[in-house]
Chains A and B, each alone.
Chain A
Amino acid sequence: MTIALTLDDACAALAADPTATVLAGGTDLMVQVNRGDHSIGNVVAIDRVPELRGWTREGDVLRIGAGMTYADMADPGFGALAPALGQAARTVGSPQIRATGTIGGNLATASPAGDMLPVLVALDAVVELRSSDGERHLPLDEFVVGVKANALSAGELIVAVRVPVLHGPQEFMKVGPRNAMVISVASLALVVDPFGRTVRVGLGSVAPVPLRATEAEVMIGGRIDWEGGRPPTAGDVDRFGQLVADAARPIDDHRGTAAYRRHVVGVMARRALVRAFGMVGEEAA
């Protein structure tokens, strides 16, 4: 058991034993350990490494430490810079889970239902990795490579994740059987970049990996009057919902059917778009 107190400690312990288990909040790992699905050998606990906690802003880039907990993300200062991440963090588990669960653990677990992932994919996040061999940066879609599969090499640590500070509205929505303590049946993040003139949509729980709804993004980006600030029309909103639903690649499982998931992402897409723009615009004559 290594309780790392610095990032160098953690990297050194992983260099000494690249097969050691990294432990952050334990909210995914300990469930497996308690079930007997994961036997614990050497452990490197990273929850006391100050370099992994907190966030910094450099220009319009927000660098989020891998050890940032969901409770940390409730900080209004953080929510102002990455609203959809703040909203998504509020929906995770319960106060007990939010007190310890981390964004780095969510990334490493790479569950299709991980609530950070649709937001991070919509934001074109970049994951910072470090090992004793050095550092590398991977875009999110190269980091999450399949159902619970990531691009981490043995002995490598997620150090941080970088997202842009956009200056437009953001929405996160998820659907599950009840309000609290819910694993997503489907989730959606919508972010607006008014300077880049794009609307970006990330989908969770509707494919092995988080998806972008590219066609829907291109369509709506072209329909919004960015100069005049006219919001999308009712027809645009419907078309957008349809294209987002078409982008999903859902399956039937114990949490929901593929048909329901496809339907519900369309509904969430329409709602998120209307919320983001505050209203529905007049149909052009």
Chain B
Amino acid sequence: MRTDPYRLTVNGRPVEVIDGHAGESLLFVLRERLGLPGSKNACEEGECGSCSVLLDGDLVCSCLVLAAAAADRDVATVEGLSDAGGEVGPLAYVQRAFVEAGAVQCGFCTPGLLMAVDALLCEEPDPDDLTVREAISGNLCRCTGYGRILEAVDRAAAMRREACS
């Protein structure tokens, strides 16, 4: 069954989805219809967090959002983190922190983690270790063992505080 056309705002840009199917997730629409493959598809059951995006400011698994039910909402994806809008260009502070800390191995978990960490630091600029672990508990990484990721979060927090002070 096809859906009626609906609008989304993605990374501040209004878009229209005209050829949607009834049961498709926001993750599918972002990747396959809107050309934004940054959000990753691994489990499609909410377990891994690699598809994490902000929906009206809340961190959610885009694989569990029925796309047509998100009509007229604001979606922020990893492509919107830096001003370069997905093109190769200057990286956002969280992205730089992940690169500098060596927190990326295969990279599959990285986009979801970047969104989770950015959301955390916007809410809580100086989080303690427990808060960080809780905030990324919905994002699985099978490569790094999380040590470098935790280091990247510290680094990102410091960079962000410096930029804001």
Binding site for B on A (CB under 8 A): 1, 3, 23, 25-27, 29-31, 33-35, 39-41, 43, 45, 47, 71, 93-97, 99-100, 179-181
Q: Are B3 and A26 in contact (CB under 8 A)?
A: no
What's the minimum C-beta distance from B133 to chain A, rounded to whole angstroms? 8
Number of A-B residue pairs with CB-CB distance less than 8 Å in the complex they form: 94
* Residues in A neighbouring B3, C-beta threshold 8 A: 1
* Set B6, B59, B69: member contacting A95, Cβ < 8 A: B59
Given A1-B68, A31-B45, the answer on whether A43 and B22 have CB atoms closer than 8 Å is: yes
**Assembled-state Cα–Cα distance A23/B1 (Å):** 17
- Contact indicator A34/B44 (Cβ below 8 Å): yes
Q: Cα distance A96–B43 when bound, in Å?
A: 14
Distance, CA A30 to CA B68, complexed state (A): 13
Do A181 and B47 touch (CB < 8 A)? yes
Residue from the set A1, A33, A43, A95 with the largest chain B CB neighbour count within 10 Å: A95
Instruction: Say yes or no: is B116 at the interface (Cβ < 8 Å to chain A).
Output: yes
Instruction: Name the distance in Å between A206's Cβ and chain B's nearest Cβ.
Output: 24
- A180 and B138 within 8 A (CB): yes
B60 adjacent to A39 (CB under 8 Å): no
List, in ascending order, chain B residues with CB within 8 A of A1's CB.
3-4, 6, 22, 68-69, 71
List chain B residues, Cβ under 8 A from A25: 64
CA–CA, A40 and B28, complex, Å: 15
Interface residues of B in 15-50 (CB under 8 A from A): 22-23, 25, 44-47, 49
Partner pick for B66 among A45, A95, A97, A99, CB 8 A cutoff: A45
Which residues from chain B sit less than 8 Å from chain A, CB to CB? 1, 3-4, 6, 22-23, 25, 44-47, 49, 52, 58-61, 63-66, 68-69, 71, 116, 134-135, 137-139
Is the pair A27, B64 in contact by a Cβ cutoff of 8 Å?
Answer: yes
Contacts A31-B46, A40-B1 known; 4 new A-B pairs at CB < 8 A:
A1-B3, A1-B71, A30-B66, A35-B44
Complex Cα–Cα for A221 and B158 (A): 54
- A143→B120 CA distance, assembly (Å): 38
Interchain CB contact under 8 A, B137 and A94: yes
| Chain A hits for B65, CB < 8 A | 26, 30, 100
**Is A34 a contact partner of B25 (Cβ separation < 8 A)?**
yes
Q: Do the beta carbons of A99 and B25 come within 8 Å of each other?
A: no
Question: Shortest CB–CB separation between residue B40 and chain A, in angstroms?
Answer: 14
Name the distance in Å between B65's Cβ and chain A's nearest Cβ.
Answer: 6
Whether B25 lies near A97 (C-beta < 8 A) is no
CA distance A41 to B58 in the complex (A): 27
Q: Please name the residue on chain B nearest to A34 by beta carbon.
A: B44
Complex Cα distance A1/B21, Å?
11
A183 to B46, CA, bound (A): 13
Q: B64 contacts which chain A residues (CB < 8 A)?
A: 25-27, 30-31, 96-97, 100
Name the contact of A34 in the complex, choosing from B52, B63, B137 (C-beta under 8 A).
Answer: B63
A256, chain B: closest CB distance, angstroms? 19
**What are 26 A-B contacts defined by CB distance under 8 Å?**
A1-B6, A1-B22, A23-B66, A26-B64, A26-B65, A26-B69, A29-B66, A30-B46, A33-B23, A33-B66, A34-B25, A34-B44, A35-B44, A39-B23, A40-B1, A47-B69, A94-B138, A94-B139, A95-B134, A96-B52, A96-B61, A96-B138, A97-B46, A100-B64, A180-B134, A180-B137
CB distance from B21 to the nearest CB of A (A): 9
Knowing A3-B71, A95-B116, A180-B138 are in contact, say whether A100-B58 is a contact too (CB < 8 A).
yes
The CA-CA distance from A41 to B66 in the complex, in Å, is 12
Given A34-B63, A94-B49, A100-B58: A41 and B137 interface contact (C-beta under 8 Å)? no
On chain B, the residues within 8 Å of A181 by CB distance are: 47, 137-138
> In the assembly, what is the distance between CA of A40 and CA of B71, in Å?
17
Which chain A residue has the least Cβ–Cβ distance from B1? A41
Chain A CB within 10 Å, residue with most, of B44, B45, B46: B46
